[in-house]
Structure 1
Amino acid sequence: MATTVTSKGQVTIPKPVRDLLGIVPGTEVEFRRAADGSVVLTRSDRKAEPSRFAALRGHAGVGMSTDAIMALTRGDEA
């Protein structure tokens, strides 16, 4: 895969490479020189890729209290 360097020295990492390494916006990458003189691109943040469900996490807002939910699921009269 080839890419072009911009006037600012920037390149776009091809999508297959981003997918392979799990690179998403905000991921830190590292360039290092290998023993054979080639340059290797790796993730440097070592963080797990965010779950595809991460945006769905949270709470439903103000509503029933925990005690009320427990009473409802147990069939208790609250």
Structure 2
Amino acid sequence: MAPGETRASSKTALLDAAAQLLTRIPPTEVSARNLARETGVNYGLVHYFGGKDRLLAEAYERLVRRFVDDSGTVLWRAS
């Protein structure tokens, strides 16, 4: 696997883990170590991809997009 593919798959795995954690626990209880452990990647990768807060924000965006895409309807729009 090429380095760019490895980075992309690691980030995808972290975002998937963040989304899963957010369905089980509040964001204030998600830690960078939880994300790394859940994903099976090195803890340092969490920081490489912008840190816990950035990954959680991206995970939330992905969850919302998935929900909107699945339903075909926007239920909420920021003003």
* TM-score of Structure 1 vs Structure 2, range by shorter chain: under 0.3
Structure whose alpha-carbon radius of gyration is higher: 1
The structure carrying a bigger helix percent of its residues is 2
TM norm structure 1: 0.24
Select the structure with the greater relative contact order (CA < 8 A; seq sep ≥ 6). 2
**Higher strand fraction (1 or 2):** 1
